[in-house]
Amino acid sequence: MSRSRLLPLTGILAAVAAWQLGVSLHPSSLIPGPIAVARGIGELAVRGLLVKYVVASLFRVTWGYLTALIVAVPLGLALGLRRRAEAAINPVLQVLRPISPLAWIPIAILWFGVGDLSAIFLIFLASLLPLTVATMNAVHNIDPVHLAAALNFGIPLRARITRVLVPAILPQLIVAMRIALGVAWLVVVAAEMIAVNSGLGFLIVDARNAGNRYDLVIAGMVLIGAIGIVLDLLMRRIERLDSVRWGYAAE
Amino acid sequence: MKNVTMQRPMQHAASNIEHSTFEKFALPLLTVAVIIATWSAAVEFSGTKIFPSPIAVASAIGTLGEKSLLWRYIADSLTRVFAGYAVAIVAGIPLGFLLGWNASLARAVNPLIQMLRPISPLAWMPLAVIWFGVSNAAPIFLIFLASFFPIVVAAMNGVRNVPPMYLQAGRNFGLSTWQLMIRVVIPAVLPRIIVGLRLAFGIAWVVLVAAEMIAVDSGLGYLIIDARNAGKRYDLVVAGMLLIGVIGLLLDTGIRRVEEWISE
Amino acid sequence: MKVQFSDISMRFGAMDVLQDVTISVEEGEFLCIVGPSGCGKSTLLNIAGGFLSPVMGTVTIDGDPVTGPDRRRIFVFQERGVFPWLTVEGNIGFGLFDLPDEERQRRVAQYVHLVGLEGFEKAYPRELSGGMKQRVEVARALAVNPDVLFLDEPFGALDSITRLQMRSELLRIWRAARKTVLFVTHDIDESVQLADRVVVMSARPGRIRRVVEIDIAHPRDLSSRRYIELRDLIFGEIGLAHQV
Ligand SMILES: Nc1ncnc2c1ncn2[C@@H]1O[C@H](COP(=O)(O)OP(=O)(O)O)[C@@H](O)[C@H]1O
Ligand SMILES: [Mg+2]
């Protein structure tokens, strides 16, 4: 066990220690220490809320995100390949993009009521535009030589899409997917704070409103952070696949 | 030299230019017209009493414009977003440089950053309220959190990925560490940082709206949630959304301009 | 007559790039096109490949006018043409989509052998040197058994030793397979080493200045009188004194 192995832990340990110290110095503070938070997580697990809320949040993210991906990739490919389509639609995308997905909350509630569907819709919106624009830009960045070679060998359209276009955009698309997933995770928490009655975002709001249980608030934050890290790591795994590694600068 | 400058197959090079004005202006307008027509028709045929037609939204925008309240809300939102963003830049870029430059420090601190980063800034809301009360400082803190981590990570990765050849060349010419920073590292990482800054601003804008929906009683996010809660004025809701979109686009364009200006 | 360029003219916007280019290429011939940078060599080759259409004139292959890219004649780019997301095998088998798996594997193995890449079948392009990538591209082109190969400065990005090796390999392959080859280069030595005939083009707008027959048997002795004579003839034709 060398020093360099321990180094990555020191930052986290120091932060936890500082947190504990800060709490001991201000015993009157509402903020609970790390031990109370750990106990809070335990309590959530015992009450069955831990699994229930984590599953609820992940369920919403999964459906909203996958639906967006399924719509965005073909749309982005079409916009990237057809200059006319891009000229017609891209300006509209650029105006819609800065509308915070959360600004759609009232409309989501109007259309889908308070529940899963609203949250899924918001995540869909949050992921759709970045993924579409990223796909379109990735198509623009394809080396024209590769497209020319594909034409030259006369391979059928379907194979041209699956064996040339999609692999060519994949490295850039995966980066965009990772960023979009991060935003989706952010949006689901916000959506759950406002528009739904379950999930990790709801846990935070509910724990505060129902009796200032700040141990549970921070427990919720820790869970959100941990799951966010796992999602990010999973996406980074994909970036190491042999068939996409060419697209990233050598490390 | 890349030799092959290929167009689509069998295309006359001259024919590209003629349609460009049509494509640039008429096509997007056509799309907008189709969207508005579909929207109108959908409102018409569904017979909804709640969801507004495009005309109702247009008149709502007019109503909003007459109220001085609107301008105050816009000013509040802009103040918050720029304050949080500015603090994030001032704190984030130096920290990112430090972590990019000093590998051991990065190994110690980076895991902590990676752990805090995915915590949705909005999840900090209850703590922000304890620390700052229901004031402007709470949403500013959330905006700061939202933009701080992307900026730190962009600066750190930028510095790490400066080609060693540049540093060698700099040292070769006898530059001190400071000179190396200013004359080699900063120019080399600027493009990456700028990308990070724009990304961060996009997230800050998302968070701002949400924060204003939950934590305060002014600003564009509040405008939307208030219009809904106080009497289901969905015409005002949609007008507010459009306003958020247009202002966001203007700010994004502004940031792009600054980028272009910085990178000459 | 395999490939016939008849009165080809090309223009990009207001810029004339090619003027009245007429060339006849025999079946099985190795033809080099040389000329100063920017004179329209790549443009001419892209027209023959069906990637661009000329403003005037026609290209026919076997008497049929060229209307678009066609897998019977393959364009070889500098090594950037290999697909970085496919292995060596995947690249070489790329054009063989219509063959049954077994037949395709057999053909791939055959061409891996031809270009001497045994042992690298599963490697990705990023693990290969520039010369090896260029071999992959040549093998990919040959694997679909085209009757014409277009090569646009294929060895331009290689170091000079690898470049020499690749030239003799290309000649070996060409002699074995007897394809018609149109080879664009701005390297005059390269053209005299490889070609049956060298087409010398003028600066833009590109026109044919002269066609030089290289009447030296392979393998060519690069210090022979005739070699130096022909090389200097072309240097002179392009307007360069052969001195440094
Ligand atoms: N698609 C294109 N559009 C506009 N100009 C082009 C295009 N392709 C080539 N050109 C121009 O035509 C001229 C000839 O180009 P090229 O055929 O590539 O020359 P060479 O291969 O002989 O160096 C150059 O000036 C080049 O800039
Ligand atoms: Mg060229």
- Average pLDDT of B33-48? 89
- Average pLDDT of B140-156? 93
pLDDT tens per residue across span B152-177: 999 999 998 888 888 888 888 878 88
pLDDT tens per residue across span C137-161: 989 998 998 999 999 999 888 888 8
Report the relative pairing of strands C73-76 and C148-152 from DSSP bridges: parallel
Closest CB from B28, B124, B246 relative to A87:
B28
Q: How far is the CA of C67 from the centre of ligand 1 (A)?
A: 20
Cross-chain Cβ contact C51/B7 below 8 Å: yes
The one-letter amino acid at B64: L
Residue A94: pLDDT band with limits 50, 70, 90: confident
Tell me C199's DSSP state: E
A 10 A CB-CB count for A47 gives 9
- Average pLDDT of A93-98? 84
Cross-chain Cβ contact B13/C77 below 8 Å: no
**Which tokens hold the place of C200?**
């010398």
Tell me if chain C has a CB within 8 Å of the CB of A146. Answer: yes
* Tally of CA atoms within 13 A in the half-sphere of B118 that contains its CB: 24
pLDDT tens per residue across span B174-211: 788 888 888 888 888 888 888 889 889 988 988 898 88
Sign of the torsion angle spanned by Cα atoms B155, A225, B215, B199: positive
Cα A29 from Cα A107, distance rounded (Å): 39
Spatial contact of B3 and C42, defined as CB atoms under 8 Å apart = yes
CA angle C130, C132, C136 (to 5 degrees): 115
Q: From atom 26 of ligand 1, which residue's Cα is the shortest distance away?
A: C38
Length of chain A, in residues: 251
Q: Chain A contacts of B213, Cβ < 8 Å?
A: 102, 105, 194
Spatial contact of C53 and C109, defined as CB atoms under 8 Å apart = no
Q: How far is the CA of C170 from the centre of ligand 2 (A)?
A: 20
Cα A50 from Cα B172, distance rounded (Å): 58
Residue C242: pLDDT band with limits 50, 70, 90: low
Identify the pLDDT of residue B15: 44
Task: Compare all CA atoms of chain B with the CA of A176 and give the residue at the minimum distance.
Answer: B199
pLDDT tens per residue across span B63-101: 888 888 888 899 999 999 999 999 999 999 999 999 998
- This prediction has a pTM of 0.85
Q: From atom 24 of ligand 1, which residue's Cα is the shortest distance away?
A: C38
Atom of ligand 1 nearest to the CA of C39: 22
pLDDT tens per residue across span B52-61: 889 989 898 8
Identify the pLDDT of residue B8: 42
Superfamily of domain C1-72+149-159+180-244: P-loop containing nucleotide triphosphate hydrolases (3.40.50.300)
Tell me B102's DSSP state: -
Within 8 A by CB and 6+ apart from C87, the residues are C121, C122, C123, C124
Q: How far is the CA of C201 from the centre of ligand 2 (A)?
A: 12
Q: Domain-by-domain residue ranges, chain B?
A: 1-48, 53-263
Cα C55 from Cα B14, distance rounded (Å): 10
**Which tokens hold the place of B168?**
């060698």
Q: Which of A53-57, B197-201, C85-89 has the lowest mean pLDDT?
A: B197-201
pLDDT tens per residue across span A118-170: 999 999 999 999 999 999 999 999 999 999 999 999 989 889 999 999 999 99
Cis peptide before B121 (omega within 30 of 0): no
Pocket of ligand 1 (CB under 6 A): B 3, 5, 7, 13; C 12, 17, 35, 37-43, 204
Identify the pLDDT of residue B70: 86
Cross-chain Cβ contact A148/C74 below 8 Å: no
Tell me if chain A has a CB within 8 Å of the CB of C49. Answer: yes
Spatial contact of B31 and B39, defined as CB atoms under 8 Å apart = no
Cα B90 from Cα B98, distance rounded (Å): 13
Residue B19: pLDDT band with limits 50, 70, 90: low
B1, B3, B5, B11: residue to mutate for ligand 1 pocket, most atoms within 8 A of CB: B5
Identify the pLDDT of residue C94: 93
Whether residue B6 is predicted with pLDDT greater than 50 in this model: the reply is: no
Identify the pLDDT of residue B258: 83
Identify the pLDDT of residue B253: 87
Cα A47 from Cα A59, distance rounded (Å): 20
The one-letter amino acid at A221: M
- Average pLDDT of C68-93? 90
Length of chain B, in residues: 264
Residue B7: pLDDT band with limits 50, 70, 90: very low
Cross-chain Cβ contact A153/C94 below 8 Å: yes
Calculate how close chain C gets to B209, using CA atoms only, in Å: 41
Specify the CATH class of B53-263 in words: mainly alpha
Spatial contact of A61 and A228, defined as CB atoms under 8 Å apart = no
Q: Domain-by-domain residue ranges, chain C?
A: 1-72+149-159+180-244, 78-145
Spatial contact of C198 and C191, defined as CB atoms under 8 Å apart = yes
The one-letter amino acid at A62: T
Cα A122 from Cα B9, distance rounded (Å): 41
ipTM of the complex: 0.85
Cross-chain Cβ contact B247/A98 below 8 Å: yes
Q: Which domains does chain A have, with CATH numbers?
A: 41-245 (1.10.3720.10)
Calculate how close chain B gets to C225, using CA atoms only, in Å: 33
Q: From atom 3 of ligand 1, which residue's Cα is the shortest distance away?
A: C12
| Best of B1, B2, B4 to mutate (most C CBs within 10 Å, chain C) | B4
Calculate how close chain B gets to A115, using CA atoms only, in Å: 17
Closest CB from A7, A98, A144 relative to B205:
A98
Instruction: Report residue C178: phi and psi, to 5°.
Output: 55, 50
Sign of the torsion angle spanned by Cα atoms A216, A222, A226, A228: positive
